[in-house]
Chain A
Amino acid sequence: MELIFALVIGTLTATGVYLLLRARTFPVVVGLTLLSYGVNLFLFSTGRLATGQQPVLGSAETYSDPLPQALVLTAIVIGFAMTAFVVVLSLRNLADNEDDHVDGRQPQPTEPSKREREAGSK
């Protein structure tokens, strides 16, 4: 279970980071969402993974830690609100600039430098 859990967290985080580095707002928003899923699962696992245990000390040999679950709940609620906000902001960016590039416009194609021109002519 630990291996699967770790792989899932790793995949979610890596995908999220990759998408965050894209230049369009839509992948960035999806990347943020995936990243927050990864983070939530990670937080959940900080209380150690156990199934079918009670969150009460002393009643059984092992217990499941209730605190990370409370933390995850808080993080989910906050992350949900933030995602909603960033979606609205991206839509506004699209409406204001008629472009969903994260800088509001496409980067201007730079003039090829002298060396590149020479290399091209050869």
Chain B
Amino acid sequence: MNHWLTAPILIPLLGGILQAFMGYAPIQLRRTLAITTTVLILGASLVLFSMALDGDYRMYAFGNWQPPFGIVLVLDRLAAFMVVMTSVLALFAHIFSLGGSDEGNRQFHTLFLFQLMGLNIAFLTGDLFNLFVAFEVLLIASYGLLMHGGGTIRTVPGLHYVVLNLIGSAVFLISVGMIYSVTGTLNMADLAVRVQQVTGENLQLVKAGGMMLLVVFALKAAILPLCFWLPRAYAKATAPVAALFAVMTKVGVYAILRVYLLVFGDQAGPLANLGMDWLFPLALVTMAMGFIGALGADNLRSLVAWQVIISVGTLLAPIALGSPAGLSAALFYMLSTTWTVAGLFLVASLVAGQRGTAGDRIVTAPPMRNRTFLSVLFMVGAVAAAGLPPLSGFVGKILILQSVPAGVEMAWLWGVLLMGSFLSLVAYSRAGSIVFWRTVDGHLESPPRLTGPTSIAAGALIALTLAIVAMAGPINKYTDATAAQLLDHTRYLEILETPVVGEEN
């Protein structure tokens, strides 16, 4: 039992409840408290990270129920990695929102903190049904955040997003029910044991349940047939919300990593590597679709939204192949792409604010203010996203390319990824040169000045790509260890034997 595990969940919960009651407090007070909460979450996640470094599993059993009978939180390297990645991103997105985008809705900070709570539950839980609840918590907060900012442009993408995710929730429940009806458990460690013992006609039930679960995670991660909701929704969201949503698709990727490696891993007998042979081609097609979409984007924000889809495809291809090197490379690339894409969303919003009515559309417009600062940010972000040396996207992509053993898969992955990276380079250079270089005569009527919080947040998120390059050695060592831990199931199963707190102490 380790009570620290509840900290990244309880802090945003309490902070969010506080915000909910403070809707009419002065905005300065609300902002101070909200940022303090996010900083505390970051602190707690760093504590968890330092605990996870030794490679042991830590467990928290709610209500002191011995697993598998109660719900457990489990901390391992992967969970700590995701929590830290999310809280760093959330802190900068939150700082950005202080620049004025948190106005107009009294509950913005409440929703933001509840969203963080949902994300952290999803990363830490060791229970399949609890994962569903976490998804619902983060989704209902994200519905509110997506609509934040008013205006009619967000209504239709918001409606599509909500309806799709409600259908996703229904499918999730059906698959959880199918798996439960056979195995009689929802604890992930226990499931991993029980799935090996499934035989006969029950096998098909679990198989169907597992494949439906993959559909749900694919919807969250936005894999090809289920990705068309994403560009419109993300491109229309307010900047800090879009930046935070950069991590939402990664929740789907995380769930695939967690559930499929643990429950349907190599040891699962007839159900081993369920769905992974579907995932690889789908990931490649998703990637290709993303590159085409990026080429066709007519404004900066949808360009970045398509980049989200590209990165999901790039992430899932090595995960589907499942080699230790591939998993490690995918995790490295996930860190890089999440922060870069979030930074690009913030930069795109800053650019839109400086160009008057042209907004972030890729058209020629009168010269913008603060062009040097914004264009440097955009260039660094674009170089990192397209995967050019020397920035972190390049390192991530090299690691992914290296991880594939020679064969048909290698030919496909190298072909799609390299060809596509070239196309995305074309897309970014076209967008950058039109937006920043080509200007028409005229002047803007007093565009708003860049404020401190927004430029700091956008600059810092983009600068993180440099930090990742500088720290590439240690980060790669950590992701290697994470991949090794993910593929070694026996240790995870020891959670079932962990003693709960006795009555005497």
Chain A residues packing against B (C-beta within 8 Å): 20, 25, 28, 32, 35-36, 39-40, 42-43, 45-48, 67-68, 71, 74-75, 78-79, 81-82, 85-86, 89-90, 92-93, 96-97, 102-104
Q: Is the CB of A36 within 8 A of B170?
A: yes
- Chain A's nearest CB lies how many Å from the CB of B378? 31
Q: Is the CB of B169 within 8 A of A89?
A: no
Count of A-B contacts judged by CB separation below 8 Å: 84
Residues of A within 8 A of B156 (CB): 93, 97, 102-104
- Chain A's nearest CB lies how many Å from the CB of B184? 8
Q: Is the CB of A25 within 8 A of B136?
A: no
A40-B277 Cα distance, complex, nearest whole Å: 31
With A92-B155, A93-B155 known to touch, is A32 a contact of B160 (CB < 8 Å)?
no
Residues of B within 8 A of A104 (CB): 155-156
Residues of B within 8 A of A79 (CB): 169
Q: Is the CB of B143 within 8 A of A85?
A: yes
Give B173's nearest chain A residue, CB to CB. Answer: A39
Residues of B within 8 A of A82 (CB): 136, 140, 162, 166, 169
Closest 5 CB pairs of A and B: A46-B181, A96-B152, A104-B156, A46-B177, A43-B177
Q: Is the CB of B136 within 8 A of A78?
A: yes
Q: Is the CB of B162 within 8 A of A89?
A: yes
Q: Is the CB of A89 within 8 A of B158?
A: yes
With A68-B180, A96-B155 known to touch, is A102 a contact of B166 (CB < 8 Å)?
no
Q: Is the CB of B152 within 8 A of A81?
A: no
Residues of A within 8 A of B170 (CB): 32, 35-36, 39
A60-B27 Cα distance, complex, nearest whole Å: 61
Q: Is the CB of A20 within 8 A of B159?
A: no
Residues of B within 8 A of A85 (CB): 140, 143, 162
Contact with A along B112-146 (1 / 0, CB 8 A): 00000000000000000100010010001001000
Residues of B in contact, count (CB < 8 Å): 26
A93-B162 Cα distance, complex, nearest whole Å: 13
With A46-B180, A81-B140 known to touch, is A20 a contact of B167 (CB < 8 Å)?
yes
Q: Which of B140, B156, B177 has the most CB of A within 10 A?
A: B177
Q: Does B411 contact A (CB under 8 A)?
A: no
Q: Is the CB of A46 within 8 A of B178?
A: yes
Q: Is the CB of B143 within 8 A of A78?
A: no
Q: Which of B143, B166, B167 has the most CB of A within 10 A?
A: B166
Residues of B within 8 A of A71 (CB): 129, 173, 176-177, 180
Task: List 14 additional A-B contacts (Cβ < 8 Å) besides A71-B180, A82-B140, A86-B162.
Answer: A20-B167, A28-B163, A32-B167, A36-B166, A42-B174, A43-B177, A47-B181, A67-B186, A71-B177, A82-B166, A85-B140, A86-B166, A89-B147, A102-B156
Q: Is the CB of B159 within 8 A of A25?
A: yes
Q: Is the CB of A89 within 8 A of B167?
A: no
Q: Can you list 6 A-B contacts with CB-CB less than 8 angstroms, sorted by A residue number?
A: A28-B163, A32-B170, A46-B177, A46-B180, A97-B152, A102-B163
Within 8 A of A (CB), among B174-195: 174, 176-178, 180-181, 186
Residues of A within 8 A of B152 (CB): 96-97
A20-B160 Cα distance, complex, nearest whole Å: 11
With A20-B167, A46-B180 known to touch, is A89 a contact of B159 (CB < 8 Å)?
yes
- Chain B's nearest CB lies how many Å from the CB of A22? 11
- Chain A's nearest CB lies how many Å from the CB of B114? 13
Residues of A within 8 A of B166 (CB): 32, 36, 82, 86
- Chain A's nearest CB lies how many Å from the CB of B137? 9
- Chain A's nearest CB lies how many Å from the CB of B148? 13
A85-B159 Cα distance, complex, nearest whole Å: 10
- Chain B's nearest CB lies how many Å from the CB of A35? 5
Residues of B within 8 A of A93 (CB): 155-156, 159
Residues of B within 8 A of A67 (CB): 180, 186
Residues of B within 8 A of A35 (CB): 167, 170
Residues of B within 8 A of A46 (CB): 177-178, 180-181
Give B147's nearest chain A residue, CB to CB. Answer: A89
Residues of A within 8 A of B186 (CB): 67
Residues of A within 8 A of B160 (CB): 102
A93-B166 Cα distance, complex, nearest whole Å: 17
